[in-house]
Structure 1
Amino acid sequence: MNTHPLWDYVEASRERFKTLSDRVWATPETCYMEQESVAAHIEELTFQGFRVQQDLAGIPTAVMGEAGSGGPVIAFLGEFDALAGLSQKADVFEKDPLVPGANGHGCGHNLLGSAAMLAATAVKNWLKETGTPGTVRYYGCPAEEGGAAKAFMVRAGAFSDVDIAITWHPGDIPAVAKGSSLANARVDFTFEGRASHAADSPHLGRSALDAVELMSVGINYMREHMPDEARIHYAIMDGGGISPNVVQAYAKVRYVVRAATTPEMLKLLERVRKVADGAALMTETQVSSQVLTAVSNLVYNAPLGEVMQRNLEQLGPPSFSEEDKAYAARFQATLSEDDIRQSYRGQGLVEATRTVLADFIVPADTPAVPFGGSTDVADVSWVVPTVQMWGANHAIGTQLHTWQVVAQGKGEPAIKGMVHAAAIMAATAADAFLDPELLARAKADLARRVGPEGYVSPLPEDAEPPISEMG
């Protein structure tokens, strides 16, 4: 098998970035609260010799490291935020929280940021040793899980001089990510009514909680009449107190509205607002709303995807040992048949032979499958040619946002998949540095896909990173 010169640079730094990944795994922090995680990333960027810029775009937990000079600017996008309520002991084959109710890295972002910085470090060292002109950056981006930090960073111009962006996401089957994602908005609806004694004078009260419940009924009836790929989710943030004998004068509900494109999402959001207005009208309450975050749909870049696919085919899947397979088999035993089938279907594959860890890659001619979730990488992809891949880190069938992801987050398969992804990303960046025509084709492809209107931020003009609301 042929080798790419960048792979040796990646392997040389493997252990430091395994340590970084494990360190972030041990301090899981959620949306905009990633103080210890960003500190670990800043410490490693400094050690590796990057020029570090903190508080990027005015966000305390966003950071950028830069190295090299001249030439094109190629950026690696990293993340390090966790999820609430997914605390789990490592390498334990049943649900067993480290701290009940605490956070956990249920989407593998401890691996995500570490691999992206590993790739950036490899490229930095290669640029220096070969004398190749060019600038490499690592962007440590917080709050991907619901905080839309990259959308705010795009709006602030943090990527305005970037020529190419490269990233990945932990997963169970290695592939170039060719499908789109859903645009979404996260909106708080606050209802205000009038308190009263629920037994003595209920007729004088106007229940904000009733309004929240009626809004839920209205949204549920609306689901039949929206596009198939659209999604609406909600959580009651404040039910108005714990005293049932008091008519609740205040209640807040948070909605996530998703659709295939930003314009479709914004249209659906307006319909959701009308339902909220109707609930307020029925209950004689007042409703106000605040858009906390919003992200666009993802734009695939074919020229970059082809180069990444070529590197993936050249390297092949990670080399998993029999011990790795035995370890993963115990996790796969905790999964359902539907979980396992979904992993294949999510990559456009028909399962042929059952495997525990991916000993294959998704072929180039496999039809793109839209990603049912959302990501703020999408907003970067509208302004910078962007390419990303799925890694092979977990037992096949492991679904994101589960305790099984957390439990596997420090295992040898996860680390092998992390290093594998870094190698693919680093090689793709090096190919772009060496091929000016690739840069031109990537930019032309982006311009064709976004059209003459280009990027329109889904964020309201007055929206700010919701650091206090997410804390």
Structure 2
Amino acid sequence: MNMTIDLTRFVSDAIENKKDRYTSASDQIWSFAETRFDEVRSAGLLIKVLEDEGFTVSRGVAGLETGFIASYRSAAAPGSPVLAFLGEYDALADLSQEAGLSEYLPVHPRGNGHGCGHNLLGVGALAAAVAVKDYLTEHPETAGEVRFYGCPAEESGYGKAYLAREGYFKDVDAAFSWHPYTMNAVMHGSSNAVIHATFTFKGRSAHAAAAPHLGRSALDAVELMNIGSNYMREHMIDQARIHYAITNTGGIAPNVVQADAEVTYLVRAPKSAQVRELFERLVKVAEGAALMTGTQMNYRYEGACANLIPNSTLERVLHKHLTALGAPAYDAAEYAFAKDIYETLPQQNKQEAAALVGPQLAPLLAERPLPDFVAPYSDEKEMFMGGSTDVADVSWNVPTAQCVTTTMAFGTPLHAWQTVAQGKSSYAHKGMLLAAKAMAAAAIETLLQPNLVEKAQSELKKRLDGEAYECLVPADVHPPKQGADTLAL
């Protein structure tokens, strides 16, 4: 018996039989386009699908009102392996865009949009969890528990960090996730840790012409903080990042000294200790800005997450099944739309995409911008992702593997309107279902071969080298409640 062929055939049939429900759910979440901690309808839809499939759902876990855990345990003996699938479903602000168009046209000006493909991500992970449940149902002698973790606010707020901090992964043996992308691959690498915080300055209003000496400008404090943070950039490691957005300028009247102003910051670095040290320096810059302007400064954590810990053991299993399944076939209309999207990209984006795949593949993908292959896997060198993901907090606690599949045209940048435009395309659906199949097959093989879990956990222990997980979100910081004054980034 060839286990790889048997498992890929089983999960392919199981997922294809329900694909209409999965693509419909993904498209609905695309239209909901709910941002951090406000994913009420998105979470509700996923819960409904899971409950219909026989999962038991725990809502509001770790204080996350739009977070949940759905579980299904086989009839076999207790103490069996617990496998987790990680689902996200949050959108991004200011990325509203009509689906299926290769020109910029917002559905709602300044509205939200799924510019990172999380409408696909959450449903793809759900489909994988249901396929594993189907396997356990058909093979009652197989011991195991499958869980779907509904994880809100990955883009900003980092829901998984709260789940990890509160111990919701302590009894999990292995975790799987994926992400929409421009190719099919299992990548071996790490990411930046991040701390996100908002700084509020309180001054004193006054007539800016008649009595400016009576005023204390909170906007001046914000500007001085931003200048100070710019000077920090020369004195930090190359892979670190500091970026910000002014979220309250204090008003639009130049003849009034602005009494209130606010700026939100993301601080990133390859290691948790590094990002913590940089953030402490940034707080001192904010304190200095307040001193210089005679204002008061307060800050609040918006969220944080750790750096990603890869796991070669699980990645190899995942890649094996992704390769066995193979890339989807595309028709002429799909290639034509992908080509139209590709032509909207700035030349620099095209050049960077070409450099990523090399001079042989680049011209081919420029003409047919949907890769019809699975990239080879290598763990000889860790790749580094400048961005951040709260999957990292899971990876510190549980051996974790991720894949990417083609849901958008070659070169498409994440967090852009082009990603939103392709979020309901037929080839995005194909990529979502491919990821679901690969994850489900890898998870079932992990259930059937307990030595894989042991090996993966041994690898995680070795990679941590005695370092224990410490959540970057302070213990007294909790997820915001519905209706609270939360930042919508």
Identify the TM-score tier after normalising by the shorter chain.
over 0.9
Query: What code does the residue aligned with 2:136 have?
Result: L
Counterpart Cα distance in 2 of 1:248 and 1:82: 32
Deviates more, 1:34-43 or 1:154-163: 154-163
Secondary structure at the counterpart of residue 175 of structure 1:
coil
- Is the CA contact 1:154–1:380 (under 8 Å) kept in the aligned structure 2? yes
Q: Which whole-Å deviations, capped at 9, do the CAs of 1:370-395 have from their partners, x for residues lacking one?
A: 11111111101111111111111111
Q: For 1:358, which of 354, 371, 377 is the aligned residue?
A: 371
Select 1:349's aligned residue among 325, 343, 357: 357
* 2:252 alignment partner, one of 229, 242, 248: 242
**Larger deviation, residues 50-59 vs 28-37:** 50-59
TM-score when scaled to structure 2?
Answer: 0.93
Q: Distance in 1 between matches of 2:406 and 2:354?
A: 13
Q: Which amino acid aligns with 1:359?
A: D
Q: How many residue pairs are counted as aligned between the two chains?
A: 469
Any unmatched runs of 5+ in structure 2? none
Extract unaligned runs of 5+ from structure 1. Answer: none
Question: Aligned equivalents of 1:124 and 1:410: distance in 2?
Answer: 26
1:396 equivalent in alignment to 2:410:
yes
**C-alpha deviations, 1:226-247, integer Å up to 9, x for none?**
1111111111121122222221
Residue type at the aligned position of 1:220: N
Letter in 2 for 1:350: G
C-alpha distance in 2 between matches for 1:6 and 1:43? 22
TM-score by length of 1: 0.96
User: CA-to-partner distance for each residue in 1:428-468, whole Å, 9 max, x for gaps?
Assistant: 10110011110001111111112323101111121111342
| Matching residue of 2:105 | 96
- Give me the whole-angstrom Cα distance separating, in 1, the residues matched to 2:212 and 2:340: 57
Structure 2: distance between partners of 1:241 and 1:326: 47
SS where residue 194 of structure 2 aligns? strand
Q: Which moved more, 1:404-413 or 1:152-161?
A: 152-161
CA distance in 1, matches of 2:288, 2:463: 38
Contact 2:156 2:302 in 1 (8 A): no
Q: Which amino acid aligns with 1:28?
A: A
Shift of 1:336: 2.6
Question: Contact 1:293–1:466 (CA<8 Å) still a contact in 2?
Answer: no
**1:164 corresponds to which residue?**
174
Give the partner amino acid of 2:45. Answer: A
Q: Is the 8 A contact 1:393 1:416 kept in 2?
A: yes
**Most deviating of 306-315 and 20-29:** 306-315
Q: How far apart, in 2, do the equivalents of 1:459 and 1:365 lie?
A: 33
Task: Indicate the RMSD between aligned Cα atoms, in angstroms.
Answer: 1.6
Give the CA deviation at 1:349. 3.5
Are the aligned partners of 1:123 and 1:429 in contact in 2 as well (CA < 8 Å)? yes
| Cα gap change, 1:47 to 1:298, in 2 (>3 Å) | same
Q: CA shift at 1:423, angstroms?
A: 0.7
For 2:291 and 2:209, locate their aligned partners in 1 and report how far apart those are by CA, in whole Å: 23
Q: Equivalences for 1:59-98 in 2 at 5 Å?
A: 59-69=64-74, 70=78, 71-98=80-107
The structure-2 alpha-carbon separation of the partners of 1:384 and 1:25, relative to structure 1 and needing over 3 Å to count, comes to same
Bigger Cα displacement from structure 2, 348-357 vs 171-180: 348-357
Counterparts of 2:256 and 2:344, CA distance in 1: 45
The answer to whether the aligner puts 1:43 opposite 2:48 as a matched pair is yes
2:466 to 436, 452, 457: 452
Note the C-alpha offset of 1:2.
4.3
Partners of 2:470 and 2:271 lie apart in 1 by 11
- 2:118 corresponds, among 109, 124, 143, to 109
Change (3 A) 1:351 1:19: farther
Indicate the residue corresponding to 2:318 in structure 1: 308
Q: Aligned partners of 1:218 and 1:212: how far apart in 2?
A: 10
**Could you list the runs of 4 or more consecutive aligned residues of structure 1 that deviate by over 6 angstroms after TM superposition?**
none
Question: Which residue of structure 2 lines up, in the alignment, with residue 32 of structure 1?
Answer: 37
